[in-house]
């Protein structure tokens, strides 16, 4: 998010309120509805990926922090930015991955704006994004399943309050 927008959102004065109201009034319905899906404006700073060149980002937090939402948004950002992305979504079980990471209230299908939702293919344990990026669901109970496929990124959700995400470091 660029600095002027950060200042606009952080401005809690009456002038800031008036400016935000004018901005909202100037938007049409579709723009207002789409704005609700801009994670960078809604997220707390600790829910956004860290800046710089990192290989693993881990969120260790309690219930209600927003780990699932942060993970889903990160996966969406990777998919949107890279049509060649192949993302592994790993959870304790395939049922948990589907129920929480894909179909849950903070899962991938819920966070994408209407008309831009990926296609979930439950029988293939796969999510296809409109630009060609794909995410594949895996169970931690079957680690051998991860041996064959090649992935550019991975997101692991755990019931112990940990979210781990990894991707290639830039050259």
Crossing angle (nearest 10°) for helices 3-10 and 14-26 = 120
Question: Can you say whether the dihedral through the CA atoms of 1, 109, 134, 49 is positive or negative?
Answer: positive
Residue 1 predicted with pLDDT over 50 = no
Structural domains in the chain, CATH included, are 3-35 (no CATH), 49-166 (3.40.50.300)
pLDDT digits (tens, 9 = 90+) for 103-147: 999 999 999 988 889 999 999 999 999 999 999 999 988 888 887
Average confidence score pLDDT of the chain: 84
Question: Among candidates 83, 140, 84, 80, which has minimal Cα distance to 111?
Answer: 80
Average pLDDT over residues 82-94: 93
Reading the block at residue 34, the tokens are 């789409």
User: Alpha-carbon distance 131 to 121, whole Å?
Assistant: 16
Reading the block at residue 122, the tokens are 């439950």
Per the listing, tokens 């994670």 go with 39
Query: Would you place residue 162 in the very low, low, confident or very high pLDDT band (cuts 50, 70, 90)?
Result: low
Per the listing, tokens 């049922």 go with 95
Reading the block at residue 164, the tokens are 């781990």
Output 101 or 143, whichever has higher pLDDT: 101
């Amino acid at each position: 998010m660029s600095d002027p927008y950060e200042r606009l959102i952080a401005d809690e004065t009456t002038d800031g309120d008036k400016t935000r109201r004018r901005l909202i009034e100037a938007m049409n319905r579709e723009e207002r509805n789409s704005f609700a899906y801009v994670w960078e404006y809604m997220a707390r700073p600790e829910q956004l990926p860290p800046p710089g060149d990192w290989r693993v980002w881990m969120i260790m937090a309690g219930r209600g922090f927003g780990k699932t939402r942060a993970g889903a948004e990160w996966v969406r950002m990777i998919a949107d930015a890279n049509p060649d992305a192949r993302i592994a979504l790993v959870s304790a079980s395939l049922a948990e991955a589907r129920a929480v990471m894909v179909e849950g209230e903070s899962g991938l299908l819920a966070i994408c704006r209407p008309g831009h939702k990926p296609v979930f293919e439950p029988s293939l344990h796969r999510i296809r994004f409109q630009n060609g990026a794909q995410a594949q669901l895996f169970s931690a109970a079957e680690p051998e399943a991860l041996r064959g496929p090649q992935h550019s990124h991975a997101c692991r959700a755990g019931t112990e309050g940990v979210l781990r995400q990894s991707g290639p470091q830039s050259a």
